Amino acid sequence: MTLTVAVAGASGYAGGEVLRLLLGHPDVKIGALTAHSSAGTPIGQVHPQLVPLRDRVLEPTTVDALAGHDVVVLALPHGASADIAAHLPADVLVLDCGADHRLIDPKAWQAFYDGEHAGNWPYGLPELVTPDGPQRQQLVGARRIAVPGCNATAVTLAAAPGVASGVVQADDIVAVLACAPSGAGKTLKTHLLASELMGSASPYGVGGTHRHIPEIEQNLRLAAGSDAVAVSFTPTLVPMSRGILATVTARVAPGATAESVRAAWAEAYADEPFVHLLPSGQWPQTSATLGANAALISVDVDERAERVVAIAALDNLAKGTAGAAIQSANIALGLAETSGLPIAGVAP
């Protein structure tokens, strides 16, 4: 079975990464490639790395251009996906890489985003630990999937096993991230210029203002089976093109030990093909996940501070976005979950 896949927003970083991974997928034929301001341009001019597609011309993003495909990936800015998705047939698998369909609570959406809440779709983080088992089972047969935010993926994968097992106190979680600027997309912004970034690290979204916070809290509430979740989240831009390193700490729950803490993460990810708990004493590096649909995680206990320290590294464009979309599509369509997805990173 060969599936046709259209990619809207193909000129952006996320769209380009989706295409890079799809080129290695054995069950896929790449269909329409659409864009907004880059429409009419050969894709080789905006993504020179996509050599097999370099002569394909980007079309305007319209429902007609996306029609007739088995799968449509919407790699569009927030607020742009809902209207297009509403006009696509119900039997087409639509993957929204934006935020339009991630949040369950309309009030949370309105507090962090502009416009009306478009409703929520099944959430495309298969490894999310919940009291009822991994989120994966919610994706089987789905035809609408909300792809997670990259920061939310990193923090969730780092923290959810501890929250779900009760070995940490979910009402005292602190997450500090080192983030690559590619997570902000290709839009020209002064603080993302090389002259501003090189040799510098700068925080953003400080004081509980980052848009991924309600998504992280939603995930961890699902993991905990409780609303008693509080997250302090601070991301920092660092001068690397791709990658996230998330350091997440939480107070140790009464009665938990270093052994029971590590066992919680080991059990949660024992059978996961893309999430790997590193040996004790080994710490994740973003370079080890470059280009891979993989998250590397370490966990330890700071006995003096009585806090669990969980660290996750992933590629924000791969496991953080495009890889998550393809992994979720594989599950939804009954394909091998690992099809077309590299696990090994590119290093040095």
Q: Could you give the residue numbers annotated as active site? A: 150
| Distance in angstroms (rounded) separating the CA atoms of residues 33 and 35 | 7
| Distance in angstroms (rounded) separating the CA atoms of residues 296 and 271 | 14
3-state SS assignment for residue 254: coil
What is residue 54's DSSP assignment? T
Give long-range contacts, CB 8 A cutoff, 24+ apart: 44-50: 46/11, 46/16, 47/10, 47/11, 47/16, 47/19, 49/16, 49/20, 50/16, 50/19, 50/20, 50/23
DSSP letter string, 258-309? HHHHHHHHHHHTTT-SSEEEPPTT----GGGGTTSS-EEEEEEEETTTTEEE
| Distance in angstroms (rounded) separating the CA atoms of residues 217 and 24 | 34
Q: Give the residue from 77, 23, 83 showing the smallest Cα distance to 54.
A: 23
- 168 token code pair: 């940490």
Pairing of strands 71-74, 93-96: parallel
Q: CA separation (Å) from 293 to 106, 221, 288, 303? A: 31, 25, 11, 33
Burial of 337 (0-12, 13-18, 19+ CB in 10 A): middle
